Amino acid sequence: MERKIRVLVAKPGLDGHDRGAKVVARALRDAGMEVIYTGLHQTPEQVAEAALQEDVHVVGLSILSGAHMTLVPRIRALLDERQLRDVLLLVGGIIPADEAAELKSKGYAAGVFTPGEPLDAIINFIRAQASPAEV
Amino acid sequence: MGEEDFTLKIREEQQLWREQQEQQQERPEPFTTVSGEPVNDLYTPADIAGLDYLKDLGFPGCYPYTRGVQSNMYRGRLWTMRQFSGFGDAFDSNRRYRYLLEQGQTGLSVAFDMPTIMGYDSDHPRALGEVGRCGVAIDSLADMEILFDRIPLDQITTSMTINGPAAILWCIYLANAEKQGVPLEKVGGTIQNDILKEYIAQKSWIFPPEPSMRLITDIFAFAARRVPRWNTVSISGYHIREAGSTAVQELAFTLADGFAYVEAGIKAGLDVDTFAPRLSFFFNAHLDFFEEICKYRAARRIWARRMKERYGARDPRSWMLRFHTQTAGCSLTAQEPENNIVRTTLEALAAVMGGTQSLHTNSMDEVLALPTEKAVKIALRTQQIIAYESGVANTIDPLAGSYFVEALTGRMEAAAEDYFRRIEELGGVLAAIDCGFFQQEIADAAYSYQQAVDRGERVVVGMNRFAGGELPQIELLRIDPAVERKQVERLQALREKRDAIAVAGSLERLKKAAAGPENLVPYILEAVKLYATEGEIVAALKEVFGEYREKPLF
C-alpha cells in the first residue's frame, strides 16, 4: 500500500493569524493527506524538530508578520542540518512577488502561495512534488 | 383593518403575486449574504409585523439606540477618520502620523510590531526578523517620546492596538503625556485591551485568562479615578471576522465578550456605571452591505437592553454601544489590487450607514504589504468623499424602516441571542474558550467560505471571475532591514544609561504586588517612568502569572 503524504503545517514567528494555516490544513486532510498542525508561535528550531519527529514529507509554513525573509531560510537550514533535505518546504502568507521569487530561486522554499490561491493549487503542487514512494 | 389582518392580507397578496411570477428564472448563484444567510427576493410589512417603533427603534441618542448613539449623529460631528498605522521605528511612524494629520486625519491609531504585541524587547531572540515589520517597535518610554514628538497629546486622541501587554503600553503613553505637560484627566484615547478575542481569534496572548482579566479590571479602576476620558477596552469583533467568522458570529461573540468584561468588573467590586461608559467596540465592515448595517444596528439594541435590564446600569452612557470600524482586510485581493479601493468604499459606506463613531479604511495594497503613503492617502480620501460629497451623512440612520433592513436586524439579534444561550450552557465565555467552542465555530465558517470561493459560488471579481491573470505591478512599502539593528542599538544604549538599580527595584515591587490583590497600574507606571522596558515588565509578570498555551486544532 502506498504511504500517505505527511504534512506539517507550522506557524513560525510571532503573528497569530491562523486562518490560512487552518484552512489549508483542513483542505490537505480532506484531500487524503496526514496533517499535523504545530499551533502558534513556533521557533524555527521547534518547527524543524517537529518535522523530524513526525517524519513528514512536506512542511508548510504560514507567515503573515513580514518576517519570512528571516524565518524561511533559517528553517530550511535547520531542516538540512537534520538530514531532511528531501522535505519539501512551502510558504504561504503576505509575501511580495519579488521576495517570493527570491525564496524560490535561492532554494529556500519549493513553493510560495499568496492570497487568492485556490486550495486545489496547493494540493496539486504537493501531490506532484512530494511522492512518499520516493522518500 | 387591524395589524394582524393587514399582515395576513399582505401574505395572501404576496402568495398570489408569487404564483404569477413562477415562470421567471433566477441566476444560478445562491442568494445569500456573504455569511451564507439566505436572503428573500422581496420584503414587505409582513416581515416586520412584530416591530414596535418606539420600543425597538426609538429615536437616535435614546434607548435602545438602534438608530444611533448621538441625537444628531453626523449632523453634529462626523465620525473620526482614524487610519491604523505604524511601521519601522518610532521615527518612521512619527513621520507617517504627522503626514496623516496634515492630510486631515482626525485621530491616531498605533499599529505595533509583533515583538511589542507579544511582550518581547527588540533584542530578544524571538524578535529576530520581526522588528518594525508589521507595526512600530516600541520598547520603552524613550521610543514613545519619539513616536509622539510634535504631536500634542491634549489635542489628539490615540487608539492603540495592544492587548496582552496593554497595561504597559498604556502606562508608557500616559507617562509620555505627563512629560509633555498634559494632565492625565485631559488625555483621551483607546487601548484595545480585549484579551478574550485574543484567545478566540487573534491569538496574540501572553498571560493566562485569570491574571489577564485582573489586569483589565485594574485598568477599569485606575481609569475611572485618574484617566476619565480613556476608553479602557475596545471589544473587538474585527479579528473574529478576519479569522473567518460569519457576521452573526462576529456580533454574538463580540457582545458575549463585552458581557464577560462587565461581569468581571462587577465581580471585582466596581459599580457598573463607573466603568461601562468607557467600554467601546470595534467591528469589521465586510462586503455584504445590508448585513453589515444590520449588524451594527442589532449590536446597539442588544447592548442597551442587556446593560439596562440584566446588569442594572442606570447611566445612559453605559447603555450606548459606541464603535470603531475597519473595512475588511480579508475581503481584499492580491489580484488587481486597485479593485480594493472600490471594495473598501462599499464597506466604508456600510459602516457610515450603520452609524460608526470612527473608521479606518484599508489601503488597496494591504493584502501585499503595509501601505504606501499614496495608498493610505486614497483610503483617507475615500472617507472624506463619503463624508463631504455623497450626502449620506445628511440624515440619521437613513435605512431605518426598510422592510429588509428591519427584518434582517431583528433576525441577527435573534441569532445572536441563540449564541448567548449556547455560550451560557457551556459555562460562559472563558469555559467556551477552554473547550475550543469559538475557535471551532470560526474555523468551520472560514473553511466553508474558502470552499465556496474555490467552487466559484462566492464570486470574487478579478480573482475567481473576470480574472485578467496579470500580476500586480504596484509600488510597495519596504521596511529597511537596518531598522532592527538600529532599534536594538538604541535599546542597548538605553539600558546602559538609565538607573539600573531603580529599575530593578521597581520590577521587584511590581512582582510582589502582582502576587497580591493590589491594583498593578501604579506599579507599572512607576517602572515605565524609570525606563524599564516592555519586555522586562512582561518577563517580571510572567514569573508570577505564567504564560498561556493553546491546544492546536483545525
Phi and psi, residue B293, nearest 5°: -60, -45
- Tell me which residue of B536, B525, B544, B524 sits closest to B500, measured CA to CA: B536
Q: Which residue of B has its CA nearest to A21?
A: B554
A2 Cβ under 8 Å from any chain B Cβ: no
A122 contacts: CB under 8 Å, gap ≥ 6: A24, A27, A28, A60, A90, A92, A111, A113
- Tell me which residue of B229, B258, B227 sits closest to B107, measured CA to CA: B229
pLDDT value at residue B19 = 87
Instruction: Report the C-alpha gap between B118 and B135 in whole angstroms.
Output: 12
- Tell me which residue of B222, B231, B224 sits closest to B280, measured CA to CA: B231
Q: pLDDT, tens digit, for every residue of A81-117?
A: 999 999 999 999 999 889 999 999 999 999 999 988 9
- Tell me which residue of B234, B231, B205, B207 sits closest to B220, measured CA to CA: B231
Task: Give me the percent of chain A exceeding a pLDDT of 90.
Answer: 87
Q: Answer whether B433's CB lies under 8 Å from B202's CB.
A: no
Alpha-helical (H) ranges within B428-468 are 429-434, 437-454
Neighbours of B353 (CB within 10 A): 21
Q: Answer whether B270's CB lies under 8 Å from B217's CB.
A: yes
* Pairing status of strand A34-37 against strand A88-93: unpaired
Of A18, A65, A96, the CB nearest to B114: A65
Q: pLDDT, tens digit, for every residue of B349-390?
A: 999 999 999 999 999 999 888 899 999 999 999 999 999 999
Task: Give me the percent of chain B exceeding a pLDDT of 70.
Answer: 99
Phi and psi, residue A7, nearest 5°: -125, 135
Q: What is the DSSP letter of B37?
A: -
- Tell me which residue of B279, B248, B234, B288 sits closest to B417, measured CA to CA: B248
Q: Chain B, 207-246: which have a CB under 8 Å from a chain A CB?
A: 242-244
Query: Does A69 sit within 8 Å of B129, measured CB to CB?
Result: yes
Instruction: Report the C-alpha gap between A110 and A125 in whole angstroms.
Output: 10
Cell numbers at B226, concatenated = 485618574
Specify the amino acid at residue B262. V
B204 Cβ under 8 Å from any chain A Cβ: yes
pLDDT value at residue B4 = 87
Q: Which residue of B has its CA nearest to A19?
A: B243
Neighbours of B427 (CB within 10 A): 12
Q: Which residue of B has its CA nearest to A120?
A: B454
Of B205, B244, B333, the CB nearest to A116: B333
B534 Cβ under 8 Å from any chain A Cβ: no
pLDDT value at residue A133 = 57
ipTM, two decimals, is 0.91
Specify the 3-state DSSP secondary structure of B284: strand
Q: What is the DSSP letter of A3?
A: P
- Tell me which residue of B509, B519, B514 sits closest to B544, measured CA to CA: B514
Please state the three-class secondary structure of B323-376 as a single string: EEEEECHHHCCCCCCCHHHHHHHHHHHHHHHCCCCEEECCCCCCCCCCCCHHHH
B126 contacts: CB under 8 Å, gap ≥ 6: A14, A43, B115, B118, B120
**Buried b / exposed e along B43-76 (16+ C-beta atoms within 10 A):** bbebbbeebeeeebbbebbbbbbbbbbbeebbee
Instruction: Report the C-alpha gap between B33 and B349 in whole angstroms.
Output: 17
Site from A23, A76, A99 to mutate, B interface, most B CB atoms within 10 angstroms = A23
The answer to whether residue A43 scores a pLDDT higher than 50 is yes
Alpha-helical (H) ranges within B22-66 are none
Query: Does A22 sit within 8 Å of B369, measured CB to CB?
Result: no
On chain B, the residues whose CB falls within 8 A of the CB of A97 are 471-472
Query: What mean pLDDT, rounded, does chain A reach?
Result: 93
Digit-by-digit pLDDT tens for chain B (554 residues) are: 688 899 999 999 999 998 887 677 888 888 999 988 999 999 999 999 999 999 999 999 999 999 999 999 999 999 999 989 999 999 999 999 999 999 988 889 999 999 999 999 999 999 999 999 999 999 999 999 999 999 999 999 999 999 999 999 999 999 999 999 999 999 999 999 999 999 999 999 999 999 999 999 999 999 999 999 999 999 999 999 999 999 999 999 999 999 999 999 999 999 999 999 999 999 999 999 999 999 999 999 999 999 999 999 999 999 999 999 999 999 999 999 999 999 999 999 999 999 999 999 999 999 888 899 999 999 999 999 999 999 999 999 999 999 999 999 999 999 999 999 999 999 999 999 999 999 999 999 999 999 999 999 999 999 999 987 666 678 888 888 899 999 999 999 999 999 999 999 999 999 999 999 999 999 999 999 999 999 999 999 999 999 999 988 88
Site from A8, A22, A38, A99 to mutate, B interface, most B CB atoms within 10 angstroms = A22
Cell numbers at B316, concatenated = 445612559
Query: Does A115 sit within 8 Å of B367, measured CB to CB?
Result: yes
Query: Does A114 sit within 8 Å of B334, measured CB to CB?
Result: yes
pLDDT value at residue B476 = 86
Phi and psi, residue A123, nearest 5°: -60, -45
Cell numbers at B548, concatenated = 498561556
Q: Which residue of B has its CA nearest to A72?
A: B129
Instruction: Report the C-alpha gap between A51 and B184 in whole angstroms.
Output: 52
Query: Does A120 sit within 8 Å of B203, measured CB to CB?
Result: no
pLDDT value at residue B255 = 98
**Around B309, how many Cα atoms within 13 Å sit in the side-chain half-sphere?**
8
Query: Does A97 sit within 8 Å of B454, measured CB to CB?
Result: no
From the CA of A12, how many Å to the nearest CA of chain B? 10
From the CA of A120, how many Å to the nearest CA of chain B? 8
Query: Does B552 sit within 8 Å of A40, measured CB to CB?
Result: yes
From the CA of A130, how many Å to the nearest CA of chain B? 23
- Tell me which residue of B140, B95, B97 sits closest to B116, measured CA to CA: B140
Q: pLDDT, tens digit, for every residue of B208-239?
A: 999 999 999 999 999 999 999 999 999 999 99
C-alpha pair distances (Å), B122 with each of B112, B484, B515: 12, 7, 27
B554 Cβ under 8 Å from any chain A Cβ: yes
On chain B, the residues whose CB falls within 8 A of the CB of A120 are 454
* Chain position carrying cell 460608526: B356
* Edge-to-edge order in the sheet of strand B358-360: B230-231, B189-191, B158-161, B107-111, B80-85, B358-360, B323-327, B279-285, B233-236
From the CA of B307, how many Å to the nearest CA of chain A? 32
Q: Answer whether B456's CB lies under 8 Å from B66's CB.
A: no
B189 Cβ under 8 Å from any chain A Cβ: no
A100 contacts: CB under 8 Å, gap ≥ 6: A91, A112, A114
pLDDT value at residue B469 = 64
Residue B426's region, left for phi above 0, alpha for psi from -120 to 50, else beta, is alpha
End-to-end CA distance of chain A: 14
Cell numbers at B155, concatenated = 489635542
Specify the 3-state DSSP secondary structure of A12: strand
Q: Answer whether B126's CB lies under 8 Å from B147's CB.
A: no
Query: Does B243 sit within 8 Å of A18, measured CB to CB?
Result: yes
Query: What mean pLDDT, rounded, does chain B reach?
Result: 95
Cell numbers at B384, concatenated = 472624506
Query: Does B443 sit within 8 Å of A22, measured CB to CB?
Result: yes
- Tell me which residue of B502, B489, B488, B510 sits closest to B531, measured CA to CA: B502
A101 Cβ under 8 Å from any chain B Cβ: no
Calculate the CA B292 to chain-centre distance. Answer: 14
Q: Give burial (CB, 10 Å; 0-12/13-18/19+) of B42.
A: exposed
Site from A65, A108, A112, A123 to mutate, B interface, most B CB atoms within 10 angstroms = A65
B551 Cβ under 8 Å from any chain A Cβ: yes
Of B198, B332, B450, the CB nearest to A23: B450
pLDDT value at residue A26 = 97
pLDDT value at residue A135 = 44
Neighbours of B108 (CB within 10 A): 27
Put simply, whether the predicted model's pTM sits higher than 0.80 gets the answer yes
Query: Does B198 sit within 8 Å of A115, measured CB to CB?
Result: no
